[in-house]
């Protein structure tokens, strides 16, 4: 018999139903959600790789322009998370996943056309980068959908796995770019895009065959309005700016920072790009993997304590970037530490959300809002680095690293005041009441 595409009366907190088939249904949807989100993240990050294929003397794009391209892609990916958060409620998780995979065929195809015809005006690259931001919106719809499928006791693990698998799309596209650079050289980036045309088709078909729509309460405009009126939403969003904003911002910028250093060391543009690509993918890879473990640690110890520890570590790593100015080894190690910690923080911050907002619609709304505002942190990182490299004689990123460290310090204080300090000595099930003092 053909399986129904819409599930009615889904209640993951019903233990008996969960153990008698519910877990398998949730797992099947999680698997294909991860696949679709993974490909979406790769498309969103596509231009972090494509700029390495774009010598300035051929394409007429400066270093500052490349940071701007990354900022535009990050911006649209962040802003689109608002409507994408409500899309699964309106259209269903399965239906929206199929659509969101299919629509990404447009920017990937446009990227092929642009790179095959050098010399286009900057606005053409910016528009194409903005369209790849549709892949960033996939995160919000995917997370909201999986949040509805899993019970409270497993949300940290499920959301961490879903987000971590999606985040792996960043190092995946960078690693593929490295292989193409090493094999075909900087003149043939089309193989990267061609691969993702196929991957999008596979993700869309898999979602259509194996995923389900849920019929029930979800995230709508009223839930979004209610979440926006709650002070906790803004606190959690600021924390997510520090964690996910760092992850996605550095994912776009790290390879460029390395390439600049290699060029200043006397390497040609093509050699610098190849060496930068051979290192850059490691950071997002470890950050994506650590997100899963950040979620699991948060399930065990609580989202707030893990998040606080993460920000303390990020302050130290950013301080190391400032202190180690001029050392490529120190900079590389510090960036990789930042990737790992920001990945863990992504998982732990998202564990805070269903704890403070136990209602499914409310937590889904906050996941979307925090995801959108968190992505704006990546915009800030690229713009700050762009300004740093354009200022002074040749530019230096040191003062940008100091800005990052200061922000992490603010986030650590907020984490302590809003959640860790408020919940000290309070049982886990009463954290909601403890954090209620932060509600408007």
16 is a domain residue: no
Query: Residue 2 above 60 pLDDT?
Result: no
Residues 358 and 231 reside in one and the same domain: yes
Centroid of chain to Cα 366: 16
2 is a domain residue: no
- Give the CA angle between residues 95, 159, 340 to the nearest 5°: 125
Instruction: Give me the pLDDT at residue 424, please.
Output: 53
Instruction: Give me the pLDDT at residue 19, please.
Output: 92
Is-contact 108 324, C-beta < 8 A? Answer: no
Query: Residue 421 above 80 pLDDT?
Result: no
* Per-residue confidence band for 1, with pLDDT thresholds at 50, 70 and 90: very low
Residues 64 and 195 reside in one and the same domain: yes
Residues 103 and 153 reside in one and the same domain: yes
User: What are φ and ψ of residue 424, in 5° steps?
Assistant: -65, 125
183 is a domain residue: yes
Residues 281 and 414 reside in one and the same domain: yes
The H or E element that residue 206 is part of is helix 190-210
383 is a domain residue: yes
Instruction: Give me the pLDDT at residue 195, please.
Output: 93
Residues 339 and 351 reside in one and the same domain: yes
* Per-residue confidence band for 103, with pLDDT thresholds at 50, 70 and 90: very high
35 is a domain residue: yes
User: What are φ and ψ of residue 188, in 5° steps?
Assistant: -135, 70
Residues 247 and 339 reside in one and the same domain: yes
CA–CA dist 235, 308 (Å, integer) = 13
* Per-residue confidence band for 342, with pLDDT thresholds at 50, 70 and 90: very high
* Per-residue confidence band for 82, with pLDDT thresholds at 50, 70 and 90: confident
Query: Residue 185 above 70 pLDDT?
Result: no
Q: Which of 155, 189, 216 marks a domain boundary?
A: 216
Instruction: Give me the pLDDT at residue 422, please.
Output: 57
* Per-residue confidence band for 129, with pLDDT thresholds at 50, 70 and 90: very high
Query: Residue 375 above 50 pLDDT?
Result: yes
Residues 42 and 155 reside in one and the same domain: yes
Smallest CA-to-CA distance from 345 within 308, 318, 302 is with 308
Residues 257 and 381 reside in one and the same domain: yes
Query: Residue 364 above 80 pLDDT?
Result: no
Does residue 297 come out as left (phi exceeding 0), alpha (psi in the -120 to 50 range) or beta? alpha
Instruction: Give me the pLDDT at residue 3, please.
Output: 54
435 is a domain residue: no
Q: Which of 158, 188, 216 marks a domain boundary?
A: 216
Query: Residue 426 above 60 pLDDT?
Result: no
Q: Which residues contact 205 (CB under 8 A, 6 or more apart)?
A: none
Residues 39 and 131 reside in one and the same domain: yes
Residues 382 and 308 reside in one and the same domain: yes
Query: Residue 313 above 60 pLDDT?
Result: yes
CA–CA dist 328, 113 (Å, integer) = 35
Q: Supply the range of the domain harboring residue 316.
A: 220-421
* Per-residue confidence band for 368, with pLDDT thresholds at 50, 70 and 90: confident
Query: Residue 130 above 90 pLDDT?
Result: yes
Q: Which of 11-15, 270-274, 436-440 has the lowest mean pLDDT?
A: 436-440
Instruction: Give me the pLDDT at residue 218, please.
Output: 67
438 is a domain residue: no
pLDDT tens per residue, range 31-69: 999 999 999 999 999 998 998 888 888 888 888 899 999
Strand 6-8 and strand 213-215: the pairing is parallel
Residues 252 and 189 reside in one and the same domain: no
Q: Which of 216, 231, 252 marks a domain boundary?
A: 216
433 is a domain residue: no
In this structure, what CATH number is given to the domain that contains residue 270? 1.20.1250.20
How many separate domains does the chain show? 2
Instruction: Give me the pLDDT at residue 439, please.
Output: 39
Instruction: Give me the pLDDT at residue 393, please.
Output: 53
Residues 187 and 240 reside in one and the same domain: no
């Amino acid at each position: 018999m053909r399986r129904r595409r819409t599930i009615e009366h889904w209640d993951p907190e019903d233990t008996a139903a969960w153990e008698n088939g519910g877990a398998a249904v949730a797992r099947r949807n999680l698997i294909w959600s991860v696949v679709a989100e993974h490909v979406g993240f790769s498309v969103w990050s596509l231009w972090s790789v494509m700029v390495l294929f774009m010598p300035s003397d051929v394409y007429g794009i400066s270093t500052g322009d490349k940071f701007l391209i990354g900022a535009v892609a990050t911006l649209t990916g962040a802003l689109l998370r608002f409507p994408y958060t409500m899309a699964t409620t309106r259209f269903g998780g399965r239906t929206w996943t199929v659509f969101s995979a299919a629509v990404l065929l447009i920017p990937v195809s446009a990227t092929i056309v642009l790179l095959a015809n050098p010399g286009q005006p900057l606005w053409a690259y910016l528009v194409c980068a903005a369209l790849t931001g549709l892949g960033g919106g996939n995160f919000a719809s995917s997370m909201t959908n999986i949040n509805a499928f899993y019970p409270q006791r497993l949300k940290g693990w499920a959301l961490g796995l879903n987000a971590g698998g999606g985040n792996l799309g960043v190092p995946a596209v960078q690693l593929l770019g490295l292989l193409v650079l090493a094999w075909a050289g900087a003149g043939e980036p089309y193989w990267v895009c061609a691969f993702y045309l196929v991957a999008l088709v596979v993700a869309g078909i898999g979602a259509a065959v194996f995923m389900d729509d849920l019929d029930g309460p979800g995230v709508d405009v009223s839930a979004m309005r209610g979440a926006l009126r709650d002070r906790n939403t803004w606190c959690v969003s600021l924390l997510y700016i520090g964690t996910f904003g760092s992850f996605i911002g550095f994912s776009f910028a790290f390879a460029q920072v390395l390439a600049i250093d290699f060029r200043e060391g006397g390497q040609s543009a093509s050699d610098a790009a190849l060496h930068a690509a051979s290192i850059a993918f490691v950071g997002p890879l470890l950050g994506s993997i650590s997100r899963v473990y950040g979620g699991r640690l948060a399930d065990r110890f609580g989202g707030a304590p893990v998040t606080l520890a993460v920000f303390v570590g990020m302050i130290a790593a950013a301080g190391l970037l400032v202190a180690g100015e001029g050392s490529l080894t120190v900079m590389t190690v510090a960036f990789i530490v930042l990737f790992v910690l920001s990945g863990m923080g992504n998982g732990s911050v998202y564990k805070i959300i269903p704890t403070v907002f136990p209602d499914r619609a409310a937590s889904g709304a906050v996941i979307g809002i925090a995801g959108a505002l968190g992505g704006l942190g990546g915009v800030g990182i690229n713009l700050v680095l762009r300004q740093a490299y354009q200022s002074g004689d040749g530019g230096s990123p040191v003062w940008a690293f100091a800005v990052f460290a200061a922000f992490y310090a603010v986030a650590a204080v907020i984490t302590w005041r809003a959640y860790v300090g408020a919940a000290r000595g309070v049982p886990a099930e009463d954290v909601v009441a403890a954090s209620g003092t932060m509600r408007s």
